[in-house]
Amino acid sequence: MFRAGSKKRRGKRVKQKESHQDILLSQSQQNVGKRPGGDRKQTKNKNILAKAVKTIFMLLEIKNLHASAGDKEILKGLNLSVKEGEIHAIMGPNGSGKSTLSAVLSGNPAFTVTQGTVRFKGMDLLSMTPEDRSREGLFLSFQYPVEIPGVSMVNFMRTAINEHRKYRKQEAMNASDFLKLMREKKALVELDNTLAGRSVNEGFSGGEKKRNEIFQMAMLDPVLSILDETDSGLDIDALRIVAQGVNKIHTPQKSCIVITHYQRLLNYIVPDRVHVLYEGRIVKSGDFQLAKDLEKQGYDWVKQELKD
Amino acid sequence: MGKETTYLNLFRNYREVLRQYSAPLMDSKREAAIGLFEKAGFPGPKDEAYRQCRLDALLEIDYGMNLYRLSAPAHPSKVFRCEVPSLSTKLFFVVNDVYYPDPEPQKLPEGVLYGSINAILREHSELMAPYYDRIAGQSADAFAALNTAMAQDGFLLFVPAGVEIEQPLQLIQLFHGEIEQMANRRNLVIIEDGASAKLMICDHSMTQSSCFSNQVTEVFVGKKARLEYYELEMTHPNNARLSNTFIDQQASSSVLVNGITLNNGVSRNNLNLRMLGEQAESMLSGLCLLDSHQFADYHVDVEHVVPQCTSRQLYKYILDDESRGVFAGKVLVHPNAQKTSAYQSNANLCNSSRARMNALPQLEIYADDVKCSHGSATGQIDENALFYMRSRGLSEQEARAMLKFAFVADVIEGIQLIPLKNRIHNLVGKRFRKQMSACAGCDIC
């Protein structure tokens, strides 16, 4: 019999996603933000569940985040916690700060954080450079992937992979292993063979760009992925391919934040939690049902509720 | 006229020495040239062509000149290596302004003349008389005139009609010695009708003293002849290079010029190309990578004298720190040069608020049935691209290096000699990652 919170077992992961979701729902609010197993009384009573609970920890914890672009404050005290294995959806009307959130988390220098903290794997995320965030396992799928003429996809990815490996004190990947990895991951998002030889995103169609983002995500194997409106500009088939790609990459050890306007994508990537971001704050959270309600009724009722 | 007086006195006091050590053909051009130099004087602040290129401080230095033709103790090939891996070249050396005779004769096709310009002009004065100083003599440039007045040696290549030299020829111009010195290097390249050659000229320095290279290269490309002409400068911050290159192109000939400045002090490159025969083609390109207080100035002048010629220019600069760059590209289309195609493109990347770039693209067209275009842009690295790359785990330095590399890739791609292209690729990459010392070409400095 092991003791809850024992450090030895911390690395053990939950196998069944369903089971840990139930556990999360059963967890008390106070427990959020701590490594599980802090409350021994509770774990004693729920001995079986405790096995699972103690291994789940907080991957991302945003507290009272304020951020602005220039003089304009966009995020106004945002709180969000994402545990290992969870998929969160963030929805909200235009201009509510969804993309700003993803930009701030990935370290875009165009935005300044004026207040608040963000902890990622227990580390102070905001003090890290964008490259170190990536190397620690954070990935942003850009809403508008940038075209980089003259830099080939192969060269770009090889450099990225090797910089990640260098960070982990691993040797550079040899060419044949790298090409094998490329082939494998390209197939995942049905990316055209020739695209990899071209310059990064240059001349890619909207759908190809988004698939390319998921391809890069598969290559870099992040623990936390942020998909910023990955569904925008995609036709039904491309949407399915992208979503299936995301699902194939997903494991119970990884988390995902899906930023979207529509429920459409969430039919494929089913979220554990759905949040509504409005005027720089998360104003409402719920389960998948919330996304369905929003799709049906729009955001007005949320706004109305807030007024009341 | 202070600075000019020094050189005028030097010329007059050593007139006999100059005569004694140089070929009569070289000597016969001196009087006219010194007259022109005296009249023009060094370009001042009001001289339009040199307005952005201030050489006053450099001309204050009391340079020594090797008027008595003393040679250095060791053959340069013993102490200097500038190897391009897997590129076998015929190697020639000019140290300061002295051509070094080869220890053993190089195997080149019959009829090809190569080596010391002084020696060849002496030996083949009749053959060379129509060429030597034919273009440079018409130039109003004071530095070109000073070169003609003072030049004593340099490199000459003569490829007779129909002869094609497959193997690239490499000329290494070196500065060597403790004292500050000026070298008036004079080169002459003649590619006769239907002949072809590939020539690569590398400028290096083995000394940290201030050196001034005032060089003139005249190039004649005959009918249906082909020339690939590469220049690479890898010197150091105390080096000044004033280069005048004159190219005359005949009908159906093709010329490729690719000049790369990897490391330098102050460089002014005047490139003058005249298209004198129909259906001639030229591609002129250059790349300047500048940082600290480096300065590079390209003045490219293309003259379309006859109809149906094509010329292209592609010049790129990357400026860091407090470096300065100047590009002045001019295309002049004469009244009867119909069906001319002329393109000029210049793009510059300023990576620091203290770096400065002056671009002066110019078109002067007197014919009415031509296709001409020019474009010039100066900007910064795309911050979005930089962030995108960093968000994938690339360090800022690596991302910047890759973006800079992407920016200059088309100039490097223009190099037709694959081993040289790979070598430049490698050197430029090192330069961007700041892994290159002042002069990476040699093992000793």
B417-432 pLDDT tens trace = 988 898 898 889 888 8
User: How much is the pLDDT for A237?
Assistant: 87
Instruction: For tokens 């290596």, name the residue.
Output: B81
Is B391 in contact with A107 (Cβ distance < 8 A)?
Answer: yes
Contact present, A74 and A108 (Cβ < 8 Å): no
Residue A103, exposed/middle/buried by CB under 10 A (0-12, 13-18, 19+)?
A: buried
Contact present, B195 and B161 (Cβ < 8 Å): yes
Q: pLDDT category, B436, cuts 50, 70, 90?
A: low
The chain-wide mean pLDDT, for chain B, equals: 91
Note if the pTM is more than 0.95.
Answer: no
Alpha-carbon dihedral sign for residues B375, B379, B383, B389: positive
> What is the Cα–Cα distance from A217 to A212, expressed in whole angstroms?
8
User: How much is the pLDDT for A38?
Assistant: 42
Q: How many CB pairs under 8 A join A and B?
A: 76
> What is the Cα–Cα distance from B271 to B278, expressed in whole angstroms?
20
Main-chain phi, psi angles of A186, to 5 degrees: -65, -40
> What is the Cα–Cα distance from A297 to A291, expressed in whole angstroms?
10
> What is the Cα–Cα distance from B439 to B186, expressed in whole angstroms?
24
Is A150 in contact with B406 (Cβ distance < 8 A)?
Answer: yes
Q: Which residues contact A261 (CB under 8 A, 6 or more apart)?
A: A91, A229, A231, A232
Closest CA to A159 of B158, B389, B35, B87: B389
Q: Which tokens is B135 given?
A: 């273009």
- Give the gap in angstroms from C-alpha A220 to the nearest C-alpha of chain B: 8
Side-chain-side CA neighbours of residue A61 (13 Å): 13
Closest CA to A107 of B396, B199, B76: B396
Q: Which tokens is A241 given?
A: 């391919």
What type of residue sits at position B93?
F
Instruction: For tokens 């508008």, name the residue.
Output: A144
Is A146 in contact with B395 (Cβ distance < 8 A)?
Answer: no
Is A133 in contact with B391 (Cβ distance < 8 A)?
Answer: yes
B266-284 pLDDT tens trace = 999 999 999 999 999 999 9
Q: Which tokens is B300 given?
A: 């490219």
User: How much is the pLDDT for A302?
Assistant: 83
> What is the Cα–Cα distance from A204 to B294, expressed in whole angstroms?
39
> What is the Cα–Cα distance from B2 to A299, expressed in whole angstroms?
81
- Best of B381, B389, B410 to mutate (most A CBs within 10 Å, chain A): B389
Question: Which value does ipTM take for this structure?
Answer: 0.82
Chain B contacts of A159, Cβ < 8 Å?
Answer: 394, 398, 402
What are the average pLDDT values for consecutive 10-residue runs of chain A, which has 308 residues?
42 42 39 43 50 68 95 95 94 91 95 96 95 97 94 93 96 93 89 81 90 94 95 87 90 93 88 94 92 86 82
Q: Is the pLDDT of residue B356 over 70?
A: yes
Is A148 in contact with B385 (Cβ distance < 8 A)?
Answer: yes
User: How much is the pLDDT for A27?
Assistant: 39
Map chain A to HEC letters.
Answer: CCCCCCHHHCCCCCCCHHHHHHHHHHCCHHHCCCCCCCCHHHHHHCHHHHHHHCCCCEEEEEEEEEEEECCEEEEEEEEEEEECCCEEEEECCCCCCHHHHHHHHHCCCCCEEEEEEEEECCEEHHHCCHHHHHHCCEEEECCCCCCEEEEEHHHHHHHHHHHHHHHCCCCCCCHHHHHHHHHHHHHHCCCCHHHHHCEECCCCCHHHHHHHHHHHHHHHCCCEEEEECCCCCCCHHHHHHHHHHHHHHCCCCCEEEEECCCCHHHHCCCCCEEEEEECCEEEEEECHHHHHHHHHHCCHHHHHHHHC
Q: Looking at chain A, which residue has its C-alpha nearest residue B385?
A: A146
Q: Which tokens is B89 given?
A: 């070249």
Report the interhelical angle of A153-167 vs B396-413 (nearest 10°): 150
Closest CA to A65 of A133, A124, A121: A124
Q: Which tokens is B112 given?
A: 């090809």
Chain B contacts of A108, Cβ < 8 Å?
Answer: 387, 391
Domains, chain A, with CATH or none? 7-56 (no CATH), 83-107+127-307 (3.40.50.300)
Is B388 in contact with A145 (Cβ distance < 8 A)?
Answer: yes
Is B383 in contact with A109 (Cβ distance < 8 A)?
Answer: yes
Give the number of other Cβ atoms within 10 Å of residue B65's Cβ.
17
Give the number of other Cβ atoms within 10 Å of residue B299's Cβ.
21
> What is the Cα–Cα distance from B356 to B323, expressed in whole angstroms?
7
Give the number of other Cβ atoms within 10 Å of residue A162's Cβ.
18
B109-142 pLDDT tens trace = 999 999 999 999 999 999 999 999 999 999 999 9
> What is the Cα–Cα distance from B319 to B357, expressed in whole angstroms?
8
> What is the Cα–Cα distance from A81 to B431, expressed in whole angstroms?
45
User: How much is the pLDDT for A25?
Assistant: 39
> Chain B interface residues facing chain A, Cβ-Cβ under 8 Å?
382-385, 387-396, 398, 402-403, 405-407, 409-410
Q: Parallel, antiparallel, or unpaired for β A58-69 and A72-83? A: antiparallel
